[in-house]
Amino acid sequence: MSGRADVPAGAEPGPGAPASDGAAAGQGAPSPRARRIGRLEPAAIAGVMSRDVTVFTRYWLSTTFSSVMEPVIYLLAFGFGLGVLVPRVAGLDYIDFIGTGIVATAALFSSVFPGMFSTFIKYRFQHTYDALLAAPVDTEELVTAEVTWISIRAGVYCMAPLVVAVFFGLRPGPGVVLVPLIGFLTGFGFASFGVTIAAFAKSIDNFNYVISAVVTPLFLVAGAFFPVDGLPAVAAAIAQINPLFHSVELVRHAVFGLEPVADLISVGVLVAFAVLMWRIAIWRMRARLID
């Protein structure tokens, strides 16, 4: 960032306009870009998010249905299917084990897919981002607003399988109030990952490679359906750096009892993943929209 707002190609000032953001004294009122100070202005982020909220009110029912029903179906299918054959896992009833594991995967599904598909459609077909960047909003604020809004939704949607599990006997502890925050943090990292993939993709069909080769393995080897310590040594070691594994662990500990040291490590992994993917998403989206 050079301290100026990002401007779409073709929107640069003409020959008579100031050559830089800092207009020379005595040349009249500064341009809107000259008045921009610093990064991540709350007003700009709020403006982009308010648009997202307004649009969301038009299709919230279908989005909520798909985001909630998929993890709930997994919960019911595995919980009452394998649950009959495997009554207890890692000291927990299997319905409790999978009920808490599916929470994290719900956050994954409701963040990475909107991050990929919605972002790609907005910048490639609808040109929504071109319009937003014509306002005093830069790419950093645009990506931050989009990812934050998706993460808020993920934090809400991830509670659905937990509520269903409660009806089937799950008795969560007081730490359950932390679950939406865990869902938000998980969603922020994976929404940023989705935005990054969308910025790299040349076609919407390219997402099939990512879903099959990245998202599905992360989902399956995260400890949601079975303990990762039962995997071969190499796979178990790889699972330890899977952000979704740490999300699953945090949810289980929040519901059944916090473990301070392990939980701090898991939070650190999720924060590092979220920040890294957020910065990469900004860099790549800027290259896609501006450069």
**Per-residue pLDDT tens for 226-283?**
888 888 888 888 888 999 999 999 999 999 999 999 999 999 999 999 999 999 999 9
Examine the pLDDT at 25 and tell me if it is beyond 70: no
Q: What angle do CA 89, 91, 94 make, to 5 degrees?
A: 35
Q: Check whether 120 has a pLDDT greater than 80.
A: yes
Confidence category of residue 91, pLDDT binned at 50, 70, 90:
confident
- How far apart, in whole angstroms, are the C-alpha atoms of residue 210 and residue 195? 12
User: Residue 143's closest CA among 194, 70, 201, 218?
Assistant: 194
Radius of gyration in angstroms for the set of CA atoms belonging to the chain, rounded to a whole number: 22
pLDDT digits (tens, 9 = 90+) for 132-165: 999 899 999 999 999 999 999 999 999 988 888 8
Lowest mean per-residue pLDDT among 17-26, 62-71, 194-203, 244-253 = 17-26
pLDDT surpassing 90 at residue 68: no
Average pLDDT over residues 60-83: 81
pTM: 0.84
Average confidence (pLDDT) over 120-135: 92
Evaluated on CA atoms 226, 229, 233, 237, the torsion sign reads positive
Name the more confident of 32 and 279. Answer: 279
Furthest CA-CA distance within the chain: 80
CB contact burial 252-277 (16+ within 10 A = b; e otherwise) = bbbbbeeeeeebeebbebbeebbeeb
Range from 3-17, 36-50, 125-139, 167-181 carrying the lowest mean pLDDT? 3-17
Amino acid 183: pLDDT: 96
* Lowest-confidence region among 34-43, 88-97, 113-122, 181-190: 34-43
How far apart are the C-alpha atoms of 207 and 200, rounded to whole Å? 10
Q: What's the pLDDT score for residue 291?
A: 65
